[in-house]
Amino acid sequence: MELIKIKLSFSNAYLIKDKKSILVDAGSPNEADKILGAVQKAGINSRDISLILHTHGHFDHAGSTAELKRRLKIPVAVHANDAFMLREGRNGEIKPRNFEARLIQLLVPNSFEATEPDILIEEEMDLHDFGVEARIIFTPGHTKGSISVLCNNEAIVGDVMMGGWAGGAILGSRPNYHYFIDDIEQVRASIKKILGFKPQRLYVGHGGHLKFEDVRERFLR
């Protein structure tokens, strides 16, 4: 199994390459070409991608989902609590956690092309049926439907936390709270839950990756 990071304009998407491959997150609007270019570069035949899986429903993770679904003709999965974001092509309520976050919020578009999700994730599940040895766990707090993916001793955690400052551009390997937090207590519990699986590397939606020890040091001490 191989985990491939796709660095996009505003966020990261990931490919989990195994017997088949899963695309985790689908970037901002108009990034389908970039993502498919990365698929090709990773030596993955686009016909071997079995699923577009979302860590959550924000515009920078589901912005090109509709276009990718049209081109790849594969199912789209999101947690049931974030399904409305894909369905309606909007972020829902965004709660900035400080002044910097309020400024960032001004740059955040609140609409993207809507698409109907095919799979609503309602329980933690194995991805074996999609040809990938990985597992979905629930990690709410950034949004109500945020999930993480555990594979080998690594984790893709979306926006449960982020790397560095300025959306990951500065000191991207330093763990930090994300700008937008729906429920801080849930975020803390989710971070604890993820660390309980002892992933050596944590792959985030912005910046990264993060090391297990750094994340533990930042949030649990």
- Between 44 and 77, whose beta carbon lies closer to Zn ion? 77
**Of 39-58, which residues contact Zn ion (CB under 5 A)?**
58
Q: Which range binds Zn ion by CB under 5 A, 29-37, 46-54, 118-126, 203-211?
A: 203-211
Whether the CB-CB separation of 52 and 65 falls below 8 Å is answered with yes
Task: Indicate whether 182 belongs to the interface with Zn ion (CB under 5 A).
Answer: no
Whether the CB-CB separation of 22 and 16 falls below 8 Å is answered with yes
SS (H, E, C) 166-198: HHHCEEEEEEECCCECCCHHHHHHHHHHHHHCC
Q: Minimum CB separation from Zn ion for residue 47, in Å?
A: 28
Task: Indicate whether 20 belongs to the interface with Zn ion (CB under 5 A).
Answer: no
Q: Minimum CB separation from Zn ion for residue 32, in Å?
A: 17
**Of 98-137, which residues contact Zn ion (CB under 5 A)?**
none
Both structure tokens of 91:
């972020």
**Looking at 27, 63, 145, 205, which residue binds Zn ion (CB under 5 A)?**
205
CA dihedral (168, 173, 176, 178) positive or negative: positive
Whether the CB-CB separation of 55 and 24 falls below 8 Å is answered with yes
**Of 60-89, which residues contact Zn ion (CB under 5 A)?**
60
**137/127 Cα distance (integer angstroms):** 11
Task: Indicate whether 25 belongs to the interface with Zn ion (CB under 5 A).
Answer: no
**18/134 Cα distance (integer angstroms):** 10
**Looking at 159, 179, 203, 207, which residue binds Zn ion (CB under 5 A)?**
159
Which residues sit at the interface with Zn ion, rule CB under 5 A? 11, 58, 60, 159, 205
